[in-house]
Structure 1
Amino acid sequence: MQDDDKSLFEKEMQGVKPISQDDSIGLAPKSPISNSQARRAAAQAELAESINYLSSEAVDLVDPHDMLSYKKDGVQDGVFKQLRQGKYDIQSVLDLHKKRFVEARSEVFDFIQTSHRIGLRTLLILHGRGEHAKPVPALLKSYCAKWLKEMPQVLAYHSAQRHHGSTGALYVLLRKNDAQKRENFERHAKH
Structure 2
Amino acid sequence: MNQDQDDADELELFRQATQGVRPIQVDQADTGKPRVDPAQLQSRRARAVEGKQAIRVDGLSDQFVIDVHPEEELAWAANGVQDGQLRRLKSGQIPFDGSIDLHGMTVDRARDLLWEFIDEATRIEVRCVRITHGKAQRKDGRKPILKSHVNTWLRQHPKVLAFTSCLPRHGGTGSVYVLLRREMLEGRDD
- TM-score strictly above 0.5: yes
Q: How does 1:38-49 map to 2 (within 5 A)?
A: none
SS of the residue corresponding to residue 79 of structure 1 reads: helix
Comparing 85-94 with 134-143, greater Cα deviation is found at: 134-143
Match of 1:70 among 66, 70, 76: 76
Question: What's the counterpart of residue 188 of structure 2?
Answer: 183
The 4+ residue runs of structure 1 with deviation greater than 6 A are none
Q: Per-residue deviation at 1:132?
A: 2.0
Q: Per-residue deviation at 1:134?
A: 6.2
AA of the residue aligned to 2:60:
L
Distance 1:134 1:122 in 2: 34
Q: Unpaired runs of 5+ in structure 1?
A: 1-49
Q: How does 1:111-150 map to 2 (within 5 A)?
A: 111-132=117-138, 136-150=142-156
Q: Percent identity?
A: 33
Comparing 149-158 with 56-65, greater Cα deviation is found at: 56-65
Q: Unpaired runs of 5+ in structure 2?
A: 1-55
Contact 2:66 / 2:151 at 8 angstroms: preserved in 1? no
Number of residue pairs the alignment of both structures matches: 135
Q: Residues 135 and 99 (structure 1 numbering): CA distance in 2 closer, same or farther, change over 3 Å?
A: farther
Structure of greater Rg:
2
Q: Residues 163 and 173 (structure 1 numbering): CA distance in 2 closer, same or farther, change over 3 Å?
A: same
Question: What's the counterpart of residue 23 of structure 1?
Answer: none
AA of the residue aligned to 2:145:
L
SS of the residue corresponding to residue 164 of structure 2 reads: strand
Q: Per-residue deviation at 1:135?
A: 8.1
Q: Residues 98 and 137 (structure 1 numbering): CA distance in 2 closer, same or farther, change over 3 Å?
A: same
Q: Per-residue deviation at 1:62?
A: 0.7
- RMSD in angstroms over aligned alpha carbons? 2.0
Question: What's the counterpart of residue 94 of structure 1?
Answer: 100
**What is the TM-score normalised by the length of structure 2?**
0.65
Distance 2:163 2:87 in 1: 11
**What is the TM-score normalised by the length of structure 1?**
0.65
Distance 1:95 1:183 in 2: 31
AA of the residue aligned to 1:107:
L
AA of the residue aligned to 1:65:
E
Q: Per-residue deviation at 1:79?
A: 1.4
Match of 1:57 among 63, 80, 87: 63
Question: What's the counterpart of residue 31 of structure 1?
Answer: none
Distance 2:177 2:167 in 1: 9
Contact 2:103 / 2:146 at 8 angstroms: preserved in 1? no
Distance 2:173 2:165 in 1: 5
